[in-house]
Amino acid sequence: MIIEPANRTLSVKEYYFSLKNKEIARLNAQRAAEGKDPVINLGIGSPDGSPSPEAVEAMSACARRAGTHGYQSYVGIPEMRQAMADWYQRWYGVQLDPASEIQPLTGSKEGILLLSLAFLNAGDKVLVPNPGYPTYTSATLMCEAQVVKYDLVEADGWYPDFGQLEAMNLDGVKLMWVNYPNMPTGAPARRDVFEKLVAFARKHKILLVNDNPYSFVLNEPQSILSVPGARECCMEMNSLSKSHNMAGWRVGMLVGDADVLKELLKVKSQMDSGMFRGIQEAAVAALNAGPEWYEALNAEYRRRREVACKIMDVLGCRYDAAAGGLYVWGRVPSGEAVEWSDKILYEAGVFLTPGFVFGSNGAKHLRISLCANVPTLEKALKKIEAVCVR
């Protein structure tokens, strides 16, 4: 390399799932040479279902239409922003101004980095949940800000300990990430917790962001913006990835304070040239889906969850059978979860995510993704039984 990389890259590593997918690809090549089945990957939460037929048709029709393939607005077409506002009103009971309180994104991950770039200076502090989505930490570090972890533990239902939060040194804290319904633990959104979070953020003048992509997957939709006073201090990210089987389409949104969105747009408008219009029109169709879409989605995930729980039973893991979301999160009976993950990967040919990826409080937990159909999960169960039941 002719030049040295920026210092900010020294603080982060390649994303864990990127590295693991490379390893699994190498293992699959080796397994193919040995006449073995490929690894069953129950790691990442990439839905295997299809978007609604209406969304696919809207995309296809737009792609066939002349004049739709040029650059698009940085703030999205008015029809998509209106559909997002209608969706929030219909399902969350939250009224948003589609012209000023909604910023479409290419997924929540983009929003995490854009918000961080727009508001963090070197040395600023950010409250990040442990366990939590790894991008909260990496985005903070790339902005040369300081990560301040706050604990989520099983004994508290994976909700913040507000006494512990108040006892922390909060000088210099500008931003706080929360994620309910929670990933990786599956803890559902709770109104009383949202109310405490809003009060905490208002008291300490912290911008609090709820990352909310799982609210339609085995959960009752809730938004932190429905809490009185939340508009003063809270933003919310959402996504069509999990709720509408559109992970690869990259459609998300940040909603809330218009002034916050103006600052974010300063950064975003330097980094892309808008979202393909066909994807935006597909998003409109997807967001207009009725309750039957979500009912069918959740009926399938409930069937999958039953098998995933059987896998946890075979492993002897402790888990919450009532938790929601796209994963089953279980505590291993002994040792570290990474040891269990490696054993299952190398001996059974099934990949389960070790919880250390999400922080030290996840080190003794495994996560099973529900993004595989029931026959695939049942096959994984049999392979794991062959290794663990001797």
Q: Is residue 117 situated within a structural domain?
A: yes
Confidence bin at 185 (pLDDT 50/70/90): very high
Q: Which of 324, 290, 299, 129 is nearest to 222 (CA)?
A: 324
Look up tokens 């706080």; give the residue: 176
* 33, 158: one domain: no
Evaluate if residue 241 carries a pLDDT over 60.
Answer: yes
pLDDT, position 28: 82
Q: Which of 287, 307, 334 is the last residue of a domain?
A: 287
Lowest mean pLDDT among 5-19, 61-75, 115-129, 158-172: 5-19
Question: Would you say residue 109 has pLDDT above 60?
Answer: yes
Judgement on whether residues 210 and 140 belong to the same structural domain of the protein: yes
Report the domain count for the chain: 2
3-state SS assignment for residue 272:
coil
157, part of any domain = yes
Confidence of residue 340 (pLDDT cuts 50, 70, 90): very high
Residue 379 sits in a domain whose CATH number is: 3.90.1150.10
End residue of a domain, out of 287, 311, 336: 287
pLDDT tens for 132-184 read: 999 999 999 999 999 999 999 999 999 999 999 999 999 999 999 999 999 99
Q: pTM of the entire structure? A: 0.94
- Domain co-membership, 103 together with 165: yes
Verify that 106 and 168 share a domain, yes or no.
Answer: yes
With 60 as the cut, is the pLDDT of residue 390 above it? no
User: If phi over 0 gives left and psi between -120 and 50 gives alpha, with beta otherwise, what is residue 144?
Assistant: left
What CATH number does residue 279 fall under?
Answer: 3.40.640.10
Pairing of strands 102-105, 365-369: unpaired
How deeply is 374 buried, as exposed, middle or buried, from its count of CB atoms within 10 A (0-12, 13-18, 19+)? middle
Q: What is the pLDDT confidence band of residue 34, given thresholds at 50, 70 and 90?
A: confident
Q: Confidence class of residue 389 from pLDDT cuts 50, 70 and 90?
A: low
Same domain (yes/no): 193, 93: yes
Contacts of 138 (CB under 8 A, 6+ apart): 12, 15
User: Does 238 lie in the same domain as 125?
Assistant: yes
Domain edge (last residue) among 287, 316, 343: 287
Q: 56-89, pLDDT tens digit by residue?
A: 999 999 999 999 999 999 999 999 999 999 999 9
Residue 208 has pLDDT above 90, yes or no: yes
In the predicted structure, residue 274 carries a pLDDT above the cut 80: yes
The answer to the question of residue 314 being in a domain is yes
* Sheet containing 318-319, strands listed edge to edge, beginning at the edge strand earlier in sequence: 40-42, 350-354, 365-369, 327-331, 318-319
Helix (H, G, I), strand (E, B) or coil at 30: helix
Domain shared by 246 and 315, yes or no: no
Range of the domain at 115: 53-287
Look up residue 328 and give its two tokens: 């089953």
**Largest interatomic CA distance in the chain:** 63
